[in-house]
Amino acid sequence: MITYNNLYLDMRQSFRKAGIEAAALEARELLCYVTGKSQEELLADIHFYMSKDQEEQVRYLAERRLEGEPVAYLIGSWSFCGIDLEIDQNVLIPRVDTEVVAEQAIARTKAVEGQARVLDLCAGSGCIGLAVATFAKNSRVVLADVSEEAVNLCQRNLRRCGKRGTVTAFQTDATKAPPAQFGQFHVIVSNPPYIPTGDILGLDHSVRDYEPRLALDGGADGLSFYRIITKQWKKALRPGGWLIYEVGIGQAEQVKTMLSQEGFEQVASYPDTAGIQRVVEGRLPEEPEEMAQLEL
């Protein structure tokens, strides 16, 4: 028999030797998953002996991780902005980098007077939109993705988060014109596919071989979705509304230029925790006063 602590240390060492960056976190997540314990419970019981069945299950999952399969897919869940979400191989695994995008969308949503309509376009698991719904109490959120499987997962996650009254999910193609029934939003936030097609084979195999290509492939230069969304989806923004993107390494300036060319104002980019320009946003101009009067 082996203690939780000794098995944790064995896994952590194996993961580190394999070059897994978050070795300690991933070893702990596997132990918590198999034992059904929270992190706090695992810490309290860390020197207890575990059953042989549990040890075998943990070692089996650890071997799969060493072969490249991401922990989030192994355990079927992952945390994003402190929210526990169901995750499967039909969607990207939420990254810490994306939390800065969610934080910017939350801030822009909170700044809206009264109720704010928010669209999470290319939603995947729904992580960004659900973070907005959780932390911006004035929000009403739509999660939209082209993948039927992703939309089904969004629906499970919005129920999991207790957001059935404030969040809805729809199957929608971001490369097409926005559906008329969507109306207009105060904030559109999107983490679209942005890996250049030719770079996909060079990705770490835990990404290349397990995460959905549909959510990775951004076209020849990685910018196809930004061009289409910036041009077509601005009609789904209210005057004064914000379009907020996650972008890949080295893409911020090009995406900022796209927004400026489409008439967006206050175009800016912001770094993630590693200092990489990860968030790009722009604001649709307010209607001229005379035009607003004509509509009255």
In the predicted model, what is the mean pLDDT of the chain? 95
The CATH class for the domain spanning 91-295 reads alpha beta
How far apart (Å, rounded) are the C-alpha atoms in residues 275 and 178?
33
| pTM confidence score | 0.92
Name the DSSP letter for residue 195. B
160 and 86 in contact (C-beta within 8 Å)?
yes
pLDDT tens for each residue of 69-81: 999 999 999 999 9
Q: What burial letters (b/e) apply to 104-119, b meaning 16+ CB within 10 Å?
A: bbbebbeebeeebbbb
| Topology given in CATH for the domain delimited by 2-67 | Helicase, Ruva Protein; domain 3 (1.10.8)
157 and 125 in contact (C-beta within 8 Å)?
yes
pLDDT tens for each residue of 80-132: 999 999 999 999 999 999 999 999 999 999 999 999 999 999 999 999 999 99
